[in-house]
A = this chain, B = another copy of it.
Amino acid sequence: MGALHAGHLSLVEKSLSTTDVTAVSIFVNPTQFAPTDDLDQYPRPLEQDLEKLRRAGAHLVFVPDVAEIYPKNCTTAVEPPEVSRRLEGEFRPSHFKGVCTVVLKLLQLIPARIAFFGEKDYQQLAVVRQMVEDLNVATRIDGCPIIREPDGLAMSSRNIYLAGPDRKIALSLHRTLSMVAQQIEQGETDGHCLMSEMRQMLIDSGVSDIDYAVVADPTTLEVVDDVEGAVVALIACQVGQTRLIDNRVITG
């Protein structure tokens, strides 16, 4: 969706080192925003984005118009896989339908051998992986690690919204995920105990509204009662006017 930061550019670097030709799409996809979301406010610094991609060495940038992707009579959509229903799916009901439809369309227009997605949007990656497998799309989906600011804040195009004290409160997401990793390392196996500690830590830090703060199965994203093997801790919450998400895979 553009407004490129170091996280996006790490996908470009990964592609450049893995493949022969690197194509980047920049498209603020309206169908994955809810009416109450920040579609109109979403940053679109196209000239800066293009300059960053030029410097990074991308071979092709695809910047379609909304009317090009969604002509007036376009009514087909993708009904996303099961894994889309929980977490983000509960709070943003038509979000993954929009994501799946646009990703499928982009992969038809640019039939990439490999498509790179950030692990920051962990559930999105899981949904896209399952969609591509279910629909037999001939593209391999590769996840790339979250890139963080030096103080731990996960890179996001929405971080520019974080003014004054919110920027500091936002650090509590990463701190909470680190706490979970540490607790599991120290032998904690009670999922519900971990999750209530997550909530408490976020609230104590001044987070205004928690959509979810869970320890889940890394594939199905079902909440885990007893931690055994790998899990993923995921958080979505409101910091001031900004909704932030973050996650951490804990290999146990």
Binding site for B on A (CB under 8 A): 73-82, 97, 100-101, 104-105, 108-109, 111, 130-131, 133-138
Query: Quick check: A108 and B134 within 8 Å, CB to CB?
Result: no
Q: Which residues of B are found within 8 Å of A100, using beta-carbon distances?
A: 76
Other than A76-B78, A76-B100, A77-B79, give 19 A-B pairs with Cβ distance below 8 A. Answer: A73-B130, A74-B134, A75-B82, A75-B134, A76-B79, A76-B130, A76-B135, A77-B78, A78-B78, A78-B135, A79-B79, A101-B135, A104-B135, A105-B135, A105-B136, A108-B135, A108-B136, A108-B137, A111-B111
How many copies, total? 2
Closest to A134 in B: B76
Contact present for A76 and B136 (CB under 8 Å):
no
Residues of B within 8 A of A75 (CB): 81-82, 130, 134
30 sampled A-B residue pairs with Cβ under 8 A: A73-B82, A73-B130, A74-B81, A74-B133, A74-B134, A75-B81, A75-B82, A75-B134, A76-B78, A76-B79, A76-B80, A76-B81, A76-B100, A76-B130, A76-B131, A76-B134, A77-B78, A78-B78, A78-B79, A79-B79, A101-B135, A104-B135, A105-B135, A108-B135, A108-B136, A108-B137, A108-B138, A109-B136, A111-B111, A111-B138
Residues of chain B contacted by A137 (CB below 8 angstroms): 108
A74 to B80, CA, bound (A): 10
Q: Which residues of B contact A80 (CB under 8 A)?
A: 76
| Residues in chain B near residue A76, CB distance under 8 A | 78-81, 100, 130-131, 134-135
Q: How far is the CA of A177 from the CA of B54 in the complex (A)?
A: 61
The chain B residue with its CB closest to the CB of A105 is: B136
- Most interface-central of A80, A82, A135 (chain B CB within 10 A): A135
A235 CB, nearest partner CB in chain B, Å: 25
